[in-house]
Amino acid sequence: MAELENCPYCDKVFVKNQFRDICNDCWKEEELKYETVYQYIRKRENRTATMEQVVNATGIEETLILKFIRTGKLKLAQFPNLGYPCDKCGAYIREGKICPKCAKELRKDINVLQAEEERKKQMAERDKHGTYFSIHDRK
């Protein structure tokens, strides 16, 4: 659904929709920057450039290049040394939102949580059944 918002770059009012998160003027400027980045890394000798090299050579800020990668404008399959930071630890990755190390850590935490929930469930089940003691069993 379209709604009115202020552009995060120039503060102009624009209609935000699922395709645009900035105003038309800034979008055109962003497209020119994309072309600059793409023309640079498209050259055979620059395909193995790192993020730092691309930023230094083009003058385009890293956050904007990361936006191009995250939105799918730049396909990492063609550029082996480009990546984006893991949402949890910041390590550079090429797919997904978190790195394998953080994914393993999250799975471990989830397993611990599930085991704790299962233990609580068993304790509640055990407490539900009262224990019967006969007078003769006591000494």
3-state secondary structure 72-128: CCCCHHHCCCCCEECCCCCCEECCCCCCHHHHHHHHHHHHHHHHHHHHHHHHHHHHH
Domain extent for 77: 1-85
Give the mean model confidence (pLDDT) for residues 12-37: 92
CATH code of the domain containing 38: 1.10.10
Give the mean model confidence (pLDDT) for residues 117-138: 76
> Do 28 and 79 belong to one domain?
yes
74-126, pLDDT tens digit by residue?
888 888 888 888 999 988 898 889 999 999 999 999 999 999 999 999 888 88
Q: What is the pLDDT of residue 20?
A: 86
> Do 78 and 105 belong to one domain?
no
pLDDT higher at 19 or 105: 105
> Do 72 and 103 belong to one domain?
no
Please, what is the Cα angle at 104 between 48 and 76, to 5 degrees? 20
In a domain, 138, yes or no: no
> Do 12 and 73 belong to one domain?
yes
> Do 64 and 112 belong to one domain?
no
Give the mean model confidence (pLDDT) for residues 56-65: 94
Q: What is the pLDDT of residue 132?
A: 63
> Do 79 and 13 belong to one domain?
yes
User: How far is the first Cα of the chain from the last one, in angstroms, to the nearest whole number?
Assistant: 76
Domain tally, the chain: 2
> Do 20 and 79 belong to one domain?
yes
> Do 118 and 59 belong to one domain?
no
pLDDT above 90 coverage of the chain, percent: 55
pLDDT above 70 coverage of the chain, percent: 92
In a domain, 41, yes or no: yes
In a domain, 137, yes or no: no
